[in-house]
A and B are shown apart, each in its own frame.
Chain A
Amino acid sequence: MSASDHLIPVVVSNVVEVNPIIKRFEFKHVNGDELPAFSGGAHIVVEMLDDGTKRKNPYSLMSSPFERDQYAISVRRDDTGRGGSKFMHEQVRPGMQMKISAPVNLFALDLRARKHLMIAGGIGITPFIAQMAQADKLGVPFELHYAARSVSQAAYMDSLADRFGDHVSCYCDDQGESVDLETLLSNQPLGTHVYVCGPKGMIERVVQTATSLGWPAAHVHFEHFLAPPVGEPFEVHLAKAGIDITVGAEQSLLEAVEASGTPINCMCRGGACGQCETVVVACDGEIMHNDHWLDEEQRAAKQRIMPCVSRFRGKRLELDL
């Protein structure tokens, strides 16, 4: 059983072109019902029916957790990806009916924090928009440091600066601006928690700087959704179901398992939550572990795989499904 088994029927209530590469999509329940409650940092999985291919991609909710009549997400177009963001940008229009999962939060604010320090890179801004609405209402000190490639690509930068004033600092690469992490992370009061969402390199720099300055791991939070990578098609044998399936070049193993009607647990669909961890019965070849879940030892052992993002190359892969 997984969150995406119980999908909520929604209607696309609005599509807004934020800038040339980012669009915002707003959803309302088809019956006008209240949508499930969530906290800042939560994501939903959006089901896309694209000409026979079913995709389910996770997107962070950016709307306020205190407004339940609609959800909003922002999608950055990635023309080199598997086609999910392209589908959202090209096919999804106001009035269209879609299905979404209930929200799941793998990037929640730690409510014990005396201060929330948020660091966003590019489209990684979205979970923080919901979190800032929450922190603002709770009256907990917070600070956002938002870096983007260029002024034209910095989605919501102006509106956030207007809405949250001094709480927001902005940096644009093309203006030669960047976050001085060493100074920033050296001047936070005890009890501060830091949150980072953005490109892999940015997450690594924040985690590394905080760790070297002596920040406890429990005070450093990050979210890095992986889009399932594209790759060569491969065959998989599902031992319990007794069937062979083919994973297409732009399909994830998880999607192929789901398409075969075989039950499988999952939640984030981005290699972070651990729900879809599956036992490998036999493996003659190489597993491309793309997740953030298994450790080095588990990867080398080839006895576990995360079907949401990982792939296979070789003679035979047999899974306990």
Chain B
Amino acid sequence: MGPATMSESLIEESILSRPTYGTLKIVPGLAHYFLADASGAECVIRVVQELPRDMMEKVHILYVPTPGEAALITSLYALGAKRFEHFPTIEEAVAKLGDWLSDAKMGSQLYLAGTEGLVGQGVAKGEECGLDHTAVQCEHRGSLARRVQCVHCKTMIEDVTTQPVKCPSCDLLLLVRDHYSRRLAAFQGVCINAEDPSEEIEIKEVFK
């Protein structure tokens, strides 16, 4: 972990698979694509407002607001990007990112800011569209809630804050591992009491 001043992220050092994140910084590029949720909006504003006016032609922003929130939409719109669109869900915004990137050229840069679920799905979409991982920057902000895949029934569980977590599909009690899949943009959830399913394990809120 870098010094606290480098990033607002509270992620602790763990196994290699567990992603860590940096701080967004504009690098040379033909086009700059941004995807953020409400917790990451300020990161987008921070770097984009520093750009010279004539560079705004190269800036494309996708945003997932918190329901009912409008102030950040106004601030992001006011940046004057070539394209700015907002969507109610991460899934829709990531799908739109895929549409944009399918027409993008080499030299494009992708900037992701916000919760891990959004960042991880943005990374996976970038890779799917042929972006090199070095052309993708991530800044983590907000909740540490995890997107978890139940390795047994393959159900994706969003916004997991507890350890362990019960799979809503197969009812197994899952240990949320730090083992992370970049392809799925999800942490792996593995049955915690397979030897003795009657074993009682306390469920604690740990990913806040």
Q: Does B108 contact A (CB under 8 A)?
A: yes
The yes or no answer to A189 lying at the interface (CB within 8 A) is: yes
Q: Which of A212, A215, A217 contacts B106 (CB 8 A)?
A: A215
Cβ–Cβ contact A188 & B105, under 8 A: yes
23 contacts between A and B (CB under 8 A): A186-B30, A186-B105, A186-B107, A187-B105, A189-B104, A189-B106, A189-B130, A190-B104, A190-B105, A190-B106, A190-B130, A190-B131, A191-B106, A191-B129, A191-B131, A212-B28, A213-B107, A214-B106, A215-B106, A215-B107, A216-B132, A216-B134, A218-B134
Contact B27 A214, beta carbon cutoff 8 Å: yes
B132 touches A218 (CB 8 A): yes
CA distance A212 to B29 in the complex (A): 7
CB distance B134 to A214 under 8 Å?
no
- The complex places the Cα of A186 from the Cα of B105 at a distance, in Å, of 7
**Chain A positions within 8 Å of B145 at CB level:** none
Are A192 and B134 within 8 A (Cβ)? no
Interface string of B1-28 (1 = CB under 8 A from A): 0000000000000000000000000011
Q: Is the CB of A185 within 8 A of B107?
A: yes
Interface of A is mostly: mixed
Report how far A213 CA is from B109 CA in the complex, Å: 10
- Tell me, yes or no, whether A114 is within 8 Å of chain B by CB: yes
Interface SS of B by simple majority: loop
| Count: A-B pairs, CB below 8 Å | 56
Known: A186-B30, A190-B101. A214 touches B130 (CB 8 A): no
Given A189-B105, A190-B104, decide whether A213 and B134 contact each other with a Cβ distance below 8 A.
Answer: no
Minimum C-beta distance from A208 to chain B (A): 11
Given A189-B130, A191-B130, A216-B105 contact (CB < 8 Å): no
Q: Mark A85-126, 1 if CB is under 8 A from B, else 0.
A: 000000000000000000000000000001000000000000
Count residues of chain A with CB under 8 A from any CB of chain B: 20
Interface centre among A210, A212, A213 (most CB of B within 10 A): A213
Q: A residues within 8 Å of B by Cβ?
A: 114, 185-192, 194, 210-219
B28 with A214: CB separation less than 8 A = yes
A188 to B129, CA, bound (A): 13
Contact A211 B28 (CB under 8 A): yes
B134 touches A217 (CB 8 A): yes
List residues of chain B with CB within 8 A of the CB of A213: 28-30, 106-107
- For A211, the closest partner residue in chain B by CB is B28
The minimal Cβ–Cβ distance linking B86 to chain A, given in whole angstroms, is 24
A189 to B129, CA, bound (A): 10
Note all chain A residues with C-beta closer than 8 A to B104: 189-190
B124 to chain A minimum Cβ distance, whole angstroms, is 14
What residues on A are CB-neighbors of B101 within 8 Å?
190
A218 to B: closest C-beta gap in Å: 6
Please give the distance in Å from A215's CB to the nearest CB on chain B.
5
The smallest beta-carbon distance between B56 and chain A, in angstroms, is: 17
Closest residue of chain A to B28 (Cβ to Cβ) is A214
Who on chain B is nearest to A212 by CB? B28
B27 to chain A: which residues have CB within 8 Å? 214
Q: Known interface pairs A189-B130, A190-B129, A190-B130. Does A219 touch B28 (Cβ–Cβ under 8 Å)? A: no
Complex Cα–Cα for A215 and B106 (A): 6
Is B73 part of the binding interface, using a Cβ–Cβ cutoff of 8 Å? no
